[in-house]
Amino acid sequence: MSMQSLDIQRRSATTTPSPDARQTLEVAKLIDVSKCIGCKACQSACMEWNDLRDEVGSNAGIYDNPRDLSDQSWTVMRFSEVEVQQGKLEWLIRKDGCMHCADPGCLKACPSPGAIVQYSNGIVDFHEENCIGCGYCITGCPFNVPRISQKDNKAYKCTLCSDRVAVGQEPACVKTCPTGAIVFGSKEDMIDHAQERIADLKERGYDNAGLYDPQGVGGTHVMYVLQHADQPELYHGLPKDPHISPMVGLWKGIAKPLMSFGLGLVALAGFFHYIKVGPKEVPEDEETES
List the one residue from 23, 195, 196, 271 that touches other proteins (CB under 8 A): 271
Burial degree of 52 (CB within 10 A; 0-12, 13-18, 19+): middle
> How many CB atoms sit inside 10 A of residue 186's CB?
13
Amino acid at position 282, single letter = V
Which residues are near ligand HEM by CB under 6 A? 111, 134
Q: How far is the CB of 71 from ligand SF4 (least distance, A)?
A: 11
- Tell me the C-alpha distance between 197 and 226, whole Å: 10
Interaction of residue 157 with ligand SF4, rule CB under 6 A: yes
Q: How far is the CB of 158 from ligand SF4 (least distance, A)?
A: 7
Site pattern 104..143 for ligand SF4 (x: CB under 6 A):
xxx--xx-x--xx-------x-x----xxxxxxx---x-x
Q: What is the DSSP letter of 255?
A: I
Interaction of residue 63 with other proteins, rule CB under 8 A: no
16 or 85, CB closer to other proteins? 16
Amino acid at position 189, single letter = D
Positions 150 through 169 that interact with other proteins (CB under 8 A): 150, 153
Side-chain-facing half-sphere of 192: CA atoms under 13 Å:
6
Burial degree of 167 (CB within 10 A; 0-12, 13-18, 19+): exposed
- Tell me the C-alpha distance between 140 and 126, whole Å: 14
Q: How far is the CB of 71 from other proteins (least distance, A)?
A: 11
- Tell me the C-alpha distance between 124 and 29, whole Å: 13
Side-chain-facing half-sphere of 212: CA atoms under 13 Å:
29
> How many CB atoms sit inside 10 A of residue 62's CB?
9
Site pattern 108..147 for other proteins (x: CB under 8 A):
---xxx----------------x-xxxxx-xx----x---
Interaction of residue 274 with other proteins, rule CB under 8 A: yes
- Residues at the interface with ligand SF4 (CB under 6 A): 12, 98-101, 104-106, 109-110, 112, 115-116, 124, 126, 131-137, 141, 143, 145-146, 155, 157
Q: Which residues bind other proteins (CB under 8 A)?
A: 13-15, 111-113, 130, 132-136, 138-139, 144, 148, 150, 153, 245, 247-248, 250-251, 255-257, 259-260, 262-263, 266-267, 269-271, 273-274, 277-283, 286-290
